[in-house]
Structure 1
C-alpha cells in the first residue's frame, strides 16, 4: 500500500478537525501511527459513536465527505452507518500518518445470496509492523465490533473481551480475476459462527462509497429505508434497536428483548445511545414509528 498523493484517491484528512474528533471518541493517547495507537483508536471509535440511520427515517439525505460527516458525528454528536464511520476513521488515520486502503463488502449474515456491495471497511499498515508485511483489517462501521483491528491473516481467530471473530480467505482469485482475493469475516454469536460479510481485496475510493451510500439511503430494497435502526457496542454489551424492539446481547449470557412504546424511543435514544433529538425530530420520529406499527398490524 502506497502513500496517497492524488486528492481524488484520498480521504480528506486535511479537512478533519483532529482534536475535535479525538475528543469526541474520548481518546487522549499517543498519536504516532503504531499498532498500539490503531488498536486504541478503533476501540475508542466503536464504543463511543453509535450506529444509526435516523436521517433516512426523518427523510433527510445522508451526506458523505469529511466536512459533512464531522459536522454530524463530531460536532452534533450523532451517529451514522458504515460509510460515515469509515470515511471519518479513514480521514483520522490519514491525518495521523497511517497507510490505508479502503474496501467494499457484501453483508450476507449467513446466507449464500449475492448482496450489493454496501459495507465499508479498511486495510491499514502501521509503522512498526509494516516491515514484517503485516496488515490490519479495521471494521468500525458495522455496529457490532470488532473492538480492535484484526491481523489480515487467513484463518486467524480472535476473541476481544468475549466477542469472537474469524477471517477466512474464500478464493485465491474471485471470478477468474488474477490477484483479486475474496475474504469473509465471521462472527460468533449465541448460535455459533456466522459469516457476517464478504469482501474483495480491491481498492475502493470515495466515489465508490458515494454510489453505495446512494443505494443504501434511497433504495426500497435497502434495509435502512423502511425502519429505524440503531446499535451501541461496548466491551460487554451490544444494544440493537430495530423500530421499537430493543435487543440486548451480552458478550456472555442470555439475550434480552424488550418491546417499547413509540413515545419512549426518543428518551431511549438519548439515555442509551447518547443521541439527543430536538422536539421537532422527536415528534416526527414517533409519528413514523406509530404509522409503521399500525401498517404492520393485521
Structure 2
C-alpha cells in the first residue's frame, strides 16, 4: 500500500535520529513502544515546510522522490509528503497503516474542504492517530483513538479526541484553558492515490493556503514555531504568543537557525528573490 518495501529503512532511521527500542535480532518490532519512538523522532527531526510549492516546483509523493528530498536531501515537507514517508516506514517495520482525509478546523466556523492527510495505525487491535504533517500545532506522539474524551498529555501540551455523529473524530489542543479544534476526520479509508489528488489541489490551486507564501513550522517541546509569510510566531504551552517580522535578507539564515533547513544556493537565491518581489 505505502511502498514500504522500497524504503531504505536504515537511511530513514538515521535521518530522524531514531534511538528507540530494537529487538535482540537488531530489527524493530511493530509494537506500541516502537510506534511512539518512530513518531517522536520523525516530528523532532523533519520540519514542516511547503517551499517547493512557493518555488513553483512539483511535489512528488512516490517513495523514491520522498527519500531523495527528505532523507538524502534533508529537507522537510508538508502533510502528504511527511505522512506518506512515515506510512512507508511504519509499513516496512510491520505496522498496519491506513490513511484518512481530515478537514482543517482552525479557522473557526469556516467550512473547509478535506485537504489534510493523516494516518491511523492499528496496534494490538487498538487504533492510534499518527500525524507528522500538521505543522506546529500537531501532535508529537501517536494519539489513542479507542477512548474519545480522554486528555492526552504530550510533554507540556495536552490533546483530546472528540467523537461526533457518523463516527467523525476531532483532534483538539488545549490552549489558554480552552479546547481548540485542529481537524476532524471520518472513518473512510484513504489510499496513496487519494493523497495524489489532494496534493495536486494544495500545490497548484490559487485558493490553496500554500500558494504564494512561505510556510515553515516546527512542533517543538518547549516552544512551537511557525513562519508564515514574513512573520515568525512562537507559541508557548501557557498560551503566550510572540510574533516577530522577518526581513527578506533574514529569511535563509532564520530557516537554518530555527528550523534546521539548509537550502541549496539555488533554492536560497530563488526564495529571497520571491520574498523581495513582494515588496
In which range does the TM-score fall when normalised by the shorter chain?
A: over 0.9
2:80 counterpart of 1:86: no
Correspondence for 2:143: 150
Deviation of 1:112 after TM superposition, in Å, equals 2.6
Deviation of 1:243 after TM superposition, in Å, equals 1.8
Between the aligned partners of 1:190 and 1:229, the Cα distance in structure 2 is 24
Between the aligned partners of 2:150 and 2:177, the Cα distance in structure 1 is 20
Correspondence for 1:63: 60
TM-score, scaled relative to structure 1? 0.88
Check the 8 A contact 1:110/1:194 in 2, yes or no.
no
Q: Deviations over 1:70-127 (max 9, x none)?
A: 111110000000000110000001000011211110112152333111111111122x
Deviation of 1:250 after TM superposition, in Å, equals 2.0
Equivalent residues in 2 for 1:49-198 (5 A)?
49-126=46-123, 130=124, 133-144=125-136, 145-152=138-145, 153-171=147-165, 173=166, 181-190=167-176, 192-198=178-184
Deviation of 1:191 after TM superposition, in Å, equals 6.6
TM-score, scaled relative to structure 2? 0.93
Check the 8 A contact 1:161/1:251 in 2, yes or no.
no
Between the aligned partners of 1:194 and 1:22, the Cα distance in structure 2 is 33
Deviation of 1:20 after TM superposition, in Å, equals 0.4
Between the aligned partners of 2:148 and 2:102, the Cα distance in structure 1 is 17
Question: What secondary structure does 1:135 align onto?
Answer: strand
Between the aligned partners of 1:253 and 1:14, the Cα distance in structure 2 is 42
Select 2:45's aligned residue among 23, 48, 67.
48
Runs ≥4 in structure 1, deviation > 3 angstroms? Answer: none
Between the aligned partners of 1:201 and 1:113, the Cα distance in structure 2 is 22
Check the 8 A contact 2:175/2:239 in 1, yes or no.
no
Between the aligned partners of 2:38 and 2:14, the Cα distance in structure 1 is 11
2:265 counterpart of 1:290: no
Question: What secondary structure does 1:56 align onto?
Answer: helix
Between the aligned partners of 1:110 and 1:262, the Cα distance in structure 2 is 28
Question: How many residue pairs align between the two structures?
Answer: 271
Q: Deviations over 1:148-175 (max 9, x none)?
A: 111102212212111111101111x2xx
Correspondence for 2:189: 203
Q: Deviations over 1:184-230 (max 9, x none)?
A: 11112247321111111111001100000000000111000121000
Between the aligned partners of 2:108 and 2:200, the Cα distance in structure 1 is 24
Correspondence for 1:262: 248
Deviation of 1:253 after TM superposition, in Å, equals 5.8
Between the aligned partners of 1:137 and 1:260, the Cα distance in structure 2 is 34
Correspondence for 1:280: 266
Q: Deviations over 1:117-150 (max 9, x none)?
A: 1111111122xxx1xx421111111123311111
Question: What secondary structure does 2:35 align onto?
Answer: helix
Between the aligned partners of 1:252 and 1:224, the Cα distance in structure 2 is 28
Between the aligned partners of 1:53 and 1:225, the Cα distance in structure 2 is 9
2:238 counterpart of 1:252: yes
Correspondence for 2:12: 21
